[in-house]
Amino acid sequence: MGFQDTPEEWRVTGSVTPFTGNKTSVRTDDVVMPDGSVHSRDYQVHPGSVAVLALDGDGRVLVLRQYRHPVRHKLWEIPAGLLDVPGENPLHAAQRELYEEAHVKAEDWRVLADIFTTPGGSDEAVRVFLARELSEAEGERFEVSEEEADMEQARVPLEELVRGVLAGDLHNSCLAVGVLALGAALAGDGVDALRPADAPWPARPFES
């Protein structure tokens, strides 16, 4: 089997959903522990997300700066968004987010990493893609609103972003995972060894 995470589900004796929001909810499960005791666990129920590390021909990463109210910060991030439709193909969602947030398309797509962002408090799963061979998207730009109306865009050398993560200057989880994973890939077997864009994703199964 090797050194890998494995699916497992402990018995749940009761479950309630005390809060349901527009996109996520909060659930409380009564979980049976290995010693037979039962304890409540609260967590956010999340549809899942995709994120895109878009790398141009000059080795620069497309990043966006956006206000995030829960942490009271403007964060540099990579394009990302929710899986709005159950069973949605994550590649299609990633392509949509890259278009909507940056008005960019890409010809070459790979999977960089699959992560659980906060497994102690949320069931959110994120697939981080690598997108290359970038070009301007056709048609009109997607109309943004709310926090996205104030969003900034830049292209930053990969090495500068890696330094920013390691220095504690950049905090977005998808950006951090994406740039560090790409740096490791480039230093190792190369991006051609990455998984294909349609690789299975057990955390969020999808149709091709």
Question: What is the Cα–Cα distance from 102 to 142, expressed in whole angstroms?
Answer: 9
Q: Give domain 49-196's CATH superfamily.
A: Nucleoside Triphosphate Pyrophosphohydrolase (3.90.79.10)
| Mean pLDDT, rounded, for 95-121 | 96
Of 135-144, 147-156, 173-182, the poorest mean pLDDT is in 135-144
- Report pLDDT digits (tens) over 49-87: 999 999 999 999 999 999 999 999 999 999 999 998 888
What is the percent of the chain where pLDDT is above 90?
87
Q: Which of 18, 197, 25 is nearest to 123 (CA)?
A: 25
- Over 60: is that where the pLDDT of 145 sits? no
| Mean pLDDT, rounded, for 24-36 | 97
Which residues of the chain are in CATH 3.90.79.10 domains? 49-196
What mean pLDDT is reported for the chain?
94
| Strand 195-196 versus strand 73-77 pairing type | unpaired
Distances (CA, A) of 74 to 62, 80, 142: 16, 15, 22
- Residue with token string 């292209």: 155
Active site positions, annotated: 148
| pLDDT value of position 79 | 97
